[in-house]
Amino acid sequence: MKYSGRIVIISFVIILILAIRIYGNLYYNYPSLQFPLFGIFVVFASWLLGTQYDKLKFLSEKDSLTTLYNRRFILDTFPKLVASVDRNQKKLILYFIDVDNFKIINDTCGHKIGDQVLHRIANVLMLHSEKKDKIARWAGDEFLILSTCSDTRQKEMRISRIQDELKAASQEFKLEISVSIGTAVYPDEAQTLDDLLHAADQDMYSLKSDRKLS
């Protein structure tokens, strides 16, 4: 959870208190060295208020289990990302990630282990993503990454690294953990979020079908 709300409100309150003290000293002979008991109380109250704001902002943008962004954040952010890639003549890659056989994991190992698996997958996705990427838990056992780049050849490298990391996680959990990842590129394959999701979903199921046939 970030501290932006607390920083903004505390900074504003401190500046306001200093301005009031200076004004009081100049026009009402208020002693400038007077212990600011009331000011400390106001700063503390402002910190608590800022904390509540930061919590609400965190809950409005993040998934509580994985701490990744949630669907609402992606829906709000997508137009800004599109405007940015258009302006900089780059491409936007959408990775749609589905956990393989997650229902079986939940049914055989329990929901507590299932939650741990989701949390570990989220950490793997964050580990193999760039700082500017937007990573979200889209729904249930589905994840999404929006990545701005100028070289789409990075896709296969990233997918390979994620799969390799999950093989190590499988050994740790003593059960098979894998994901299916479909991709779609803006503006080459689609130009809206819904169309990108559909294209990535089709790509993912095509890969799943190929895997079953092999």
Residues annotated as part of the active site: 141
**Alpha carbons 196 and 183: distance in angstroms, whole number:** 8
- Gap between the terminal Cα atoms of the chain: 44
Residues 136/73, Cβ–Cβ less than 8 Å? yes
Residues contacting 144, CB < 8 A, separation 6+: 74, 94, 95, 96, 97, 135, 136, 137, 138, 197
Provide the sign of the torsion angle of the four alpha carbons 117, 180, 103, 147, taken in this order: positive
**Alpha carbons 140 and 143: distance in angstroms, whole number:** 8
